[in-house]
Amino acid sequence: MPDFPIETHPLAPFAPPNAKLLMLGSFPPPRARWKMDFYYPNFQNDMWRIFGLVFFADKDYFVAAGGKAFKEGLIRDFLHEKGIAISDTAYQVVRLQGNASDKFLQIVTPLDLAALLAPMPHCEVVMTTGELATDTLLSLMPPQTAKPAIGAYSEAEFAARRLRLYRLPSSSRAYPLPLAEKAAAYARFFREIGLLV
């Protein structure tokens, strides 16, 4: 049995105190794939294109000139203004294949969700992207918590607050849904929670 190294999450949670929404993925890709020091740093991941389409009707709104990187400062400012926090459900992992695939990610230590939520008193919506992130979040919830369908939510009592747990399509290109359809699902979600008019 090969001995795989344990990786600790390289990014601090992005947790503006005004956050109403916490978005949770699984874990960042290997650093060689990064185009910025922030969440969803892989240029092949479509999260920031989805955000561009949803909020600005422009998939390249957060893409830097030259089309090879993202505008990290613009993304951070936008999330802060909207009250959107971002982290991942895993704090420590083992990559069984050395890649970014959730299928080969073994979670050693999950996120300390209660500690992350504590300084964000208005955050009552938690959204996961992808199956592994959803399953990991549910492992932290009371055992009777229902697993939400994609595009829907369930509810849970956690850390003295009532949370709505949403599940959205993965922004990975490995998830077989066209970009426009992913953006439409995210737009419905952001409207439902009041962050998109």
For residue 36, the model assigns a pLDDT of 96
Give the domains, in start order, of the chain with CATH numbers: 6-192 (3.40.470.10)
Q: What is the mean pLDDT of each run of 10 residues along the chain (197 residues)?
A: 82 97 94 93 96 98 94 98 97 82 84 97 96 95 96 96 97 92 98 96
Are 136 and 89 in contact by the 8 Å Cβ rule? The answer is: yes
For residue 33, the model assigns a pLDDT of 87
3-state DSSP assignment of residue 6 = strand
Q: If DSSP states are collapsed to H, E and C, what string results for 74-98?
A: HHHHHHHHHCEEEEECEEEEEECCC
| Structural Rg of the chain based on CA atoms | 16
CA dist., res. 52 & res. 59, Å (int): 5
**Who contacts 171 (Cβ-Cβ below 8 Å, separation ≥6)?**
40, 45, 46, 47, 50, 129, 182
- Please name the residue that has the structure tokens 């613009």: 74
Q: Which of 109, 99, 192, 119 is nearest to 152 (CA)?
A: 192
Q: Which residues of 133-155 are buried (b: 16+ CB within 10 A; e: fewer)?
A: bbebbbebbeeebeebeeeebbe
